[in-house]
Amino acid sequence: MADASPLKDWLEHDGALLRLRLARPKANIVDAAMVAALSGAFVAYRGHPGLTGVLLDAEGPNFSFGASVDEHLPEGCAAMLASLHALVLAMLEFPVPILTAVRGQCLGGGLEVALAGGPIFAAPDAQLGQPEMLLGVFAPAASVLLPYRVNQPAAEDLLFSGRSIGGAEARAMGLVHTVADDPEFAALAYFQRHLSGKSAASLACAVAAARGAMIPDVRRRLHEVERLYLDRLMHTRDANEGLVAFLGKRKPRWEHR
């Protein structure tokens, strides 16, 4: 991809490992350009012969601050949700495991992208969270994906509170697979030990089998939460107030309607 792309991609291990790197530090915002670049990469490399794993990481001190708040405003949120949810499904349906290495902040849409992959490898000081409720909105994709990662009460805690958690707490609740000072190295070690040398054809069947019930459910639920977000949430006064207040760098004034 061109240098101007928000994403870098290349192959390693004789084409067995696809490396994807968010490349707009320090925030690595998951905006329309980033979603398009990620979606394009998963299309381009789907079916690549001999591919048995993907490692997604990020340049700079943070994995991602999250989605673009500008794109959450009423005039753009429908397109934003549709493209992000299409990416989520493309990742879930990708025929090999997607490993994600997280440093620093992994928030909002950034965590939703990580949730759409496979095992998450996080630095001890990483901060993972869905802060959307602090802006008066909710996290559609995370509302669907988090209960597959952690139990329902833990998912609701993160979704309702908007709090961020460190690597150790995320590991304890099952959100993170491994906590390591060098999460990229840990993810690479996992690939080399558990995925490298496998049959790509057999692995694709194993991924399809493991997610056979999950993917149709996620597809249905994503449609449901999109409608809830667009038809109900975005017609509330407080959701719009929260977004405008964030962009105006002021505290929101809730009227509970």
**Which tens digit of pLDDT belongs to each residue from 45-93?**
999 999 999 999 999 999 999 999 999 899 889 999 999 999 999 999 9
Residue 230 lies in a domain: yes
Q: Count how many domains the chain has.
A: 1
Residue 194 lies in a domain: no
Distance between CA atoms of 16 and 19, rounded to whole angstroms? 10
Residue 55 lies in a domain: yes
Q: In the prediction, which pLDDT does 4 show? A: 78
Q: How far does CA 229 lie from the centroid of its chain?
A: 18
Q: How far does CA 218 lie from the centroid of its chain?
A: 14
* Four-point Cα dihedral 95, 99, 104, 107, nearest 10: 30
Write down the pTM of the prediction: 0.96
Q: In the prediction, which pLDDT does 2 show? A: 42
Kindly state the greatest CA–CA separation across the chain: 58
Q: Are strands 98-102 and 105-107 parallel, antiparallel or unpaired?
A: unpaired
Query: What is the average pLDDT value for the chain, to the nearest integer?
Result: 97
Average pLDDT over residues 3-24: 94
Residue pLDDT, tens place only, 88-141: 999 999 999 999 999 999 999 999 999 999 999 999 999 999 999 999 999 999
- Number of other residues whose CB lies within 10 A of the CB of residue 14: 8
Q: Is the pLDDT of residue 173 over 80?
A: yes
Q: How far does CA 40 lie from the centroid of its chain?
A: 16
CATH number reported for the structural domain that contains residue 60 in this entry: 3.90.226.10
Q: Is the pLDDT of residue 25 over 70?
A: yes
Q: In the prediction, which pLDDT does 1 show? A: 40
Residue 191 lies in a domain: no
Residue 192 lies in a domain: no
Residue 157 lies in a domain: yes
Residue 221 lies in a domain: yes
Residue 137 lies in a domain: yes
Element of type H or E holding 53: strand 53-58
Contacts of 34 (CB under 8 A, 6+ apart): 6, 7, 22, 24, 28
The residue segments making up the domain with residue 176 are 1-182+199-257
